[in-house]
Structure 1
Amino acid sequence: MSKNGRPDRIVVVGGGAGGLQLVRALGERFGKEADVILVDRSPTHVWKPLFHEVATGALDADLDEVSYRYHGKHWGYHYVRGTLEDIDRKNHEIILEPLVDEEGHKISDQERLRYDYLVLALGSVANDFNTPGVRENCLFLDSRAQADRFREHLFDACASASRTMIAQPGMEKPVRVTVIGAGATGVELSAELYNTAIELGNFGLEKFGANCMQVTLVEAAPRILAPLPEFMAEDAHTVLQRLGVDIKTNTMVVEAGEGFIKTKDGQTIESDIQLWAAGVKAPDFLSKVEGLEVARSNQIIVKPTLQSTTDDRIFAMGDCCSCKLPEAERPVPPRAQAAHQMADTVFENIVRLRKGEPLKDFLIAIMARCFLLAGLPLLAI
């Protein structure tokens, strides 16, 4: 119970992998004695590491998604649709942008929600590093809507190529896809594109198959999957080459135009579809929130307890936080498994805060991760 006699209000902003797990635990524990609220711009949750499958049509997101409203009713939390615009730390309120529909018509005005404890689980967005033309000429996979948009472009390009090859027998018309960034998303997407080409040929498109897909994977680092063990990167590299992916490492993109990218070493790579997956950052507005300490990538710098360094009532977790543990050389990497483990720590620390007990520090246990490339499982430790 807060000092003014009202039930404590715990607000979690962001219903991604960690945020959804956290509100479920908070709602189950405090749903009858505290007001637990989840704020997210989307009404449903789709696990972000699967966006590459949504983008290629391998996964039907309508069947896989979770409705926050119904999930909250079952687990004891309330869902509020909205996009975080700012935080009024003095008055313990978050400020949500006005809601608009798909046509840009206003649904509701700017809204304020009070909080006693605030958890920021906003995830990350693609970092274009201010590369000219990227925002205007590349697709992204930061959201379900962007994954749907990629799929529409992909299917349209495949249908166009099929019709051209039917109309002009003997002509080869591959669909050219350039993927910039060879992290997990870029690597998995590149492999899945060939499965999509095979399935499209099997179920509807004439004269279309894996040989009609031409994928170029561009990476600025010396190898793909740079954050992961080298043996895994080598295995993945072999699988991608076997599929037909043209892998260009040590290749930095300096410009993106309509239907092409230019690289630092002077190459021009033409394509029908360009997908940017080269690095992530926290949402830009976090760097403008008064009184929060943020890193260069807009991530909120947190203490080992996952509280912000300037406000003990504000926690941050997952991709939007920068958590450098004692004796660690670098902050905890932005991975789904880290977000899940952070959710456990934030939950326990909110329980302890309400009881007036000492908080616990976050400790990460890196677990094995399995990638599936063209049906072949690759294990990373």
Structure 2
Amino acid sequence: MQRIVVVGGGAGGLELVTRLGDRLGSRTRTPRAEIILIDRYPTHVWKPLLHEVAAGSMDPFTHQLEYAAQARWHGFEFQQGELVGLDRTRKIVQVGELRDEDGTLLLPAREIAYDTLVLAIGSTTHFFGVPGADQYAIALDTVAQAERFRRRLVALCMRARHWHATADAESASPEPHREVRVAIVGGGATGVELSAELRNTAQVLAAYGLHDVDPKHDLAITLVEAGPRLLPALSERLSEETRKLLVKLGVSVMLDARVEAVEPEGLRLAGGDHVVADLVVWAAGIKASPVLARLDGLATNRLGQLCVTQTLQTETDSSIFALGDCASCAWGADRRVPPRAQAAHQQASFLFDMLLRRMDGKPPLGEFEYRDFGSLVSLGRFSAVGSLMGGLIGGSMFVEGLFARFMYTSLYRLHIAALHGYPRMVLDTFAHWLRRSTMPRVKLH
């Protein structure tokens, strides 16, 4: 029996092991392969939704998926732990020890053998060597980081409410720091989406009495982008429309503003300007995990991604595959497949078919070809913008407003359908709608 090991339970890796388990795994009538998923966390949350977790508009505990439960339902095995090494000669992946938050050892370091290895460990935040960025700024790579930001935001709002009430009671001038100041570095999708979502959060917190000052002016949101415009992946028209909408929502947008350092009081920009901030979010770029460069000679590019062929096999070892953000795959003559959830989904589908044929001793049907279905960016409940079918029709169909918001929401529902099937996705959608109708729109504690 073949053993297929997938490292990384993100959008692509989890979809791949689910489909492989359904077709080849232990719950089939005649199991043909042992499918193992390795991830350092016990649960999965779709990464494009982390900005909603940070803003408090999505409760991760109602949207997370337990890997162990998914493994039980779909015939694969889950091993929790972090990839720390690889022995290609022995065909062994090395998994580090697992400890709880108190430092108690839960699982020792392990070695897991494989016949076929798929690396799908995603990406991590790129601080570009900016002094203080990793110390004073919060990244949004994990649920824990998003929850940390949300808790600090709520605490700052409560503090501002106290200062405001005290100043009114004493008939004195308001505390000069009673407002909450948030600086977001990076004008890509994550930065733009978080900016809009935070404005909605401020309104809800004010409505529930956790922040009884002006939710538009006393929650100061500054979006800092080093380039000349927001959302460089979209057209200039959509970029400008997004900027105008953010300004209308009260977000201060700074373009051509390069951050030289992150300090305890905020940002220091090139040219000497300062952005005062109580909270700093770093969403300026991504890079591959440093562990990839230590994996027994596997070739990587300058961003640390694994170099793969058009069949998603690593250039160094044909029995090792890579997909998603950690893989550098050619797209046309001079481009690389972008690090997007839709790319990971397409690569997972391609690898599923390829691994089935590989087990049957058949050659692959063809090479992986990325199809660009466009990009969508959520602006919270206010709107959404994007382009659809860009790579399929030779141009772009621009969408915005309610239709774009519906399409954006559908992307997550399609991800749920890939993991659970359409009937359960419909039930899941109804259950979350019912819960939202009886709970606050924002997590208040």
Quote the Cα distance in structure 2 between the aligned partners of 1:274 and 1:372: 21
Moved beyond 3 Å, runs of 4+: none
After TM superposition, give the deviation of residue 206 of structure 1 in Å. 4.8
Q: Which residue of 2 aligns with 1:12?
A: 6
Which of 16, 24, 40 aligns to 2:18? It is: 24
- Separation in 1, partners of 2:361, 2:135: 50
Deviation string 1:276-298 (CA, Å, 9 cap, x unpaired) is 11100010111122220101111
CA distance in 2, matches of 1:291, 1:323: 18
Matches within 5 A, 1:357-372: 357-359=362-364, 360-372=366-378
- Give the equivalent residue in structure 1 for 2:336: 331
Q: Which of 254, 268, 275 is equivalent to 1:269?
A: 275
Give 3-state SS (helix, strand or coil) of 2:385's partner.
strand
Ranges in structure 1 where 5+ consecutive residues have no aligned partner: 1-6
Once residues 349 and 8 of structure 2 are traced to their aligned partners in structure 1, the CA distance between those partners, rounded to angstroms, is: 16
Q: C-alpha distance in 1, partners of 2:267/2:14?
A: 37
- In 1: Cα distance, 2:238 partner to 2:84 partner: 40
TM-score, normalised to structure 1, is 0.95
CA contact (8 A) 1:259 1:274 kept: no
Select which of 235, 240, 262 maps to 1:256: 262
Q: How does 1:214-233 map to 2 (within 5 A)?
A: 214-233=220-239
Tell me, yes or no, if structure 1 residue 200 matches structure 2 residue 205: yes
Q: Give the 3 Å change call, closer, same or farther, for CA 230–36 of structure 1 in structure 2.
A: same
Give deviations 1:149-180, integer Å, cap 9, x for gaps: 11111111111111111111263722100001
How does 1:302-317 map onto structure 2 within 5 Å? 302-317=308-323
Whole-Å separation in 2 of the counterparts to 1:24 and 1:248: 43
Output the TM-score relative to the length of structure 2: 0.82
**2:333 & 2:162 partners in 1: Cα distance?**
55
* Superposition map of 1:160-309 within 5 A: 160-169=159-168, 171=174, 173-208=178-213, 209-309=215-315
Q: CA 1:142 to 1:206, structure 2 compared with 1: closer, same or farther past 3 Å?
A: closer
Q: Give, in whole Å, the separation in 2 of the partners of 1:286 and 1:368.
A: 29
Superposition deviation, residue 369 in structure 1: 3.2
Match for 1:377: what amino acid?
A
**What is the match of residue 57 of structure 1?**
56
1:347-373, Cα deviation, whole Å (9 max, x unpaired): 111112112222221111111333221
Question: What's the CA shift string for 1:66-95, capped at 9, x where partnerless?
Answer: 111111111111111111001111111100
User: What letter matches 1:134 in structure 2?
Assistant: A
Q: Is 1:90 equivalent to 2:89 in the alignment?
A: yes
Structure 1 letter corresponding to 2:179:
P
| CA positional deviation for 1:108 | 2.4
Alpha carbons of structure 1 residues 206 and 324: separation in structure 2 relative to 1, 3 Å: closer
Structure 1 range deviating more: 259-268 or 27-36:
259-268
How far apart, in 1, do the equivalents of 2:20 and 2:54 lie?
Answer: 32
For the 8 Å contact 1:191–1:373, the answer to whether it is kept is yes
Q: Counterpart of 1:69 in structure 2: which amino acid?
A: A
CA contact (8 A) 1:83 1:96 kept: yes
> Structure 1 residues 44-53 or 354-363, which shifts more?
354-363
Contact in 2 for aligned 1:259/1:271 (Cα 8 Å): yes
Where 1:345 maps in the other structure, the secondary structure is helix
Return the alpha-carbon distance in structure 2 between the equivalents of residues 195 and 340 of structure 1: 30
Equivalent pair of 2:158/2:211 in contact (CA under 8 Å) = no
Q: Tell me if the contact between 2:160 and 2:211 (Cα under 8 Å) persists in the aligned partners.
A: no
Q: Quick check: 290-299 or 259-268, which moved more?
A: 259-268
Q: RMSD of the alignment, in Å? A: 1.3
In the other structure, the counterpart of 2:387 is 380
* Partner Cα separation in structure 1 for residue 211 and residue 42 of structure 2: 38
Residue 4 (structure 1) aligns with: none
- 1:109-188 correspondence to structure 2 within 5 Å: 109-169=108-168, 171=174, 173-188=178-193
Matched letter for residue 351 of structure 2:
V
SS of residue in 2 equivalent to 1:210? coil
Partner of 1:79: 78
Farther-moved stretch of structure 1 (84-93 vs 162-171): 162-171
Extract unaligned runs of 5+ from structure 2: 26-30, 389-445
Q: Structure 1 counterpart of 2:298, which letter?
A: L
% identity of equivalent residues: 41
